Structure 1
Amino acid sequence: MNSRKKVPMRKCVATGEMRPKKELVRIVRSKEGDVSVDPTGKKSGRGAYLSKDKEAVLLAKKRNILSKHLEANIDETLYDELLDLIEKEKRQI
């Protein structure tokens, strides 16, 4: 019997697209209110997914989407960290 493994899908909060979880990056707010990038996708806390795409990150920054979704203040350095992460992954391909 040929059984295919189900691919977990998540929705990008900026673009609204459903994509495989591996194509997205998770941003998490801990119980203490700290917001950080979660590359493993396993940290506990409230999470939001963003496409690994420069335009999606810039759109989220412009519209303040992460702040609204995570109900926390988002530091500008988080967006810089996301853009750096995307650039590093593109270089590895």
Structure 2
Amino acid sequence: MKQKKIPMRMCLGCQEMKPKKELIRVVKNKENEISLDFTGKKPGRGAYICKNVSCFEKAKKGRKFERAFETSIGEEIYELLRKELEEGHAGE
């Protein structure tokens, strides 16, 4: 039986390639709203980070999200994403 290919994505924070299911997708939709996508199915441009806050902080500090989405991101959006990440991570 042929083994199924596992899709790999790069974390914006630590720059490591990991299986897509181990990462959280950050998505920007057509209305330029940025949110976390725990299912990986929301429509829009996606970027991936590990499920820990330290990778989120590294990506924020290096302005990786702004490069990935080609837009500027306000501090209040980062705070919302951090809170959502902490709450989503606590539920695991």
State the TM-score, normalized to the length of structure 2. Answer: 0.78
Q: Where does 1:6-21 land on structure 2 (aligned, <5 Å)?
A: 6-21=5-20
Q: How many residues align?
A: 92
Partner of 1:45: 44
Equivalent positions of 1:67-78 (< 5 A) are: 67-78=66-77
Name the CA distance, whole Å, in 2 between partners of 1:48 and 1:85.
16
Distance 2:77 2:50 in 1: 15
Q: Is the 8 A contact 1:48 1:66 kept in 2?
A: yes
Structure 1 residue runs without a partner (length 5+): none
Runs of 4+ deviating beyond 6 Å: none
Distance 2:89 2:43 in 1: 27
Q: Which moved more, 1:32-41 or 1:79-88?
A: 79-88
Q: Under a length normalisation based on structure 1, what TM-score does the superposition of the two structures give?
A: 0.77
Between the aligned residues of both structures, percent identity stands at 42
Mapped contact 2:35–2:81 kept (Cα < 8 A): no
Gapped runs of 5+ residues in structure 2?
A: none
CA RMSD of aligned residues (A): 2.1
